[in-house]
Copies of this chain bind each other. A is one copy, B any other.
Amino acid sequence: MGVTKTEIFTDQQNNLATSLKALAHPARIAILQYIIKQNACICNDLVEELGLAQATISQHLKELKNIGIIKGNIEGTSVCYCIDENVWQQLKKELNTFFVDNIGVDKCC
């Protein structure tokens, strides 16, 4: 086959997996780090900063937009991208819930 069986998992599991998948690429991590450092940026900044083709950067931006973690404001001919604070904090919270502390040591059989 080659297709994930989403129907056998919970919405929470599917959604978290989707969000993590969007972050799980070095270019997209680099994009987010750059946006955070600069507060905001346009696509072309990232093309110069990262050294990937414009089409490739645009595609990565689209994937980040799909999970809502960034949003873009049109400014003349360019688009200004920044972090969506609400989505960012929501994902941070979900990850904190997942990475619960009391796992307890030496519980392996």
Contact = CB atoms under 8 A, between A and B. Distances in A.
Interface of A: 4-6, 8-10, 13-14, 16-18, 20-21, 23-30, 32-33, 36, 39-40, 50-52, 71, 73, 75, 80-83, 85, 88, 91-92, 95, 98-100, 103-105, 107-109
Contact of A21 (B24, B73, B88, B98): B24
B85 A103 contact: yes
Contact of A4 (B21, B25, B91, B100): B25
Stoichiometry, as copies per complex, reads 2
Nearest to A93: B99
B95 A109 contact: no
A105 B80 contact: no
Given A99-B95, A103-B85, A75 B8 contact: no
Given A4-B25, A13-B30, A88 B108 contact: no
